[in-house]
Amino acid sequence: MNRPTCISLAFAVVLLGSPACQNFEPDAASRAKLDETITDFYAAINSGETASRARFFTEEALLLPNGGSPIQGREAIRDMLTASQDAIFRIRNREILDMAVWNDVAYTVNAYEYAYHMPDDDSVWYPTKNIHIWRRQPDGAWQLHADLWNSSPARK
């Protein structure tokens, strides 16, 4: 991860969490578009849309996977997603723990369980939490710019 991206990511998380910035809600149409995009993103995950899921990310998006190296750029994210397209990845019981919008940037903090396995294997569900930072694009569309997650041991 390059230094400016790291600083921008840290700044956005701190800034968006401050009470002074939580009053900058976008207009109702923009907020509705953000909510729709988030719903569509999770629907794409649960439908198995592995190859096309990269469309939700900005061109310079950053993934910070649990226990892995950073992955930067939509193309690199697409490569990572399609490398494992035979596996099944599903999310359940997602709950938004926190959310704020500040002009053209928003964040969500989520808790959920995920299962990642090959088709012939049983599902094992892992409790997980993530932070998503979303950016509103010039055309009004929202795209995922940073995705950081952390998993816990599987529940038995």
Which residues of the chain have a pLDDT value below 70?
Answer: 1-26, 156
Tokens of residue 72, six digits: 């930067």
Q: 123-149, pLDDT tens digit by residue?
A: 899 999 999 999 999 999 999 999 999
- Could you tell me whether strands 142-151 and 57-64 are parallel, antiparallel, or unpaired per DSSP bridges? parallel
Give the number of residues written for the chain: 156
Q: By three-state DSSP, how is residue 76 classified?
A: helix
CA–CA gap between residue 54 and residue 124 (Å, rounded): 25
The architecture of the domain spanning 3-151 is Roll (3.10)
CA–CA gap between residue 57 and residue 73 (Å, rounded): 8
Domain-wise residue ranges, the chain: 3-151
Which amino acid type is present at position 48? Answer: G
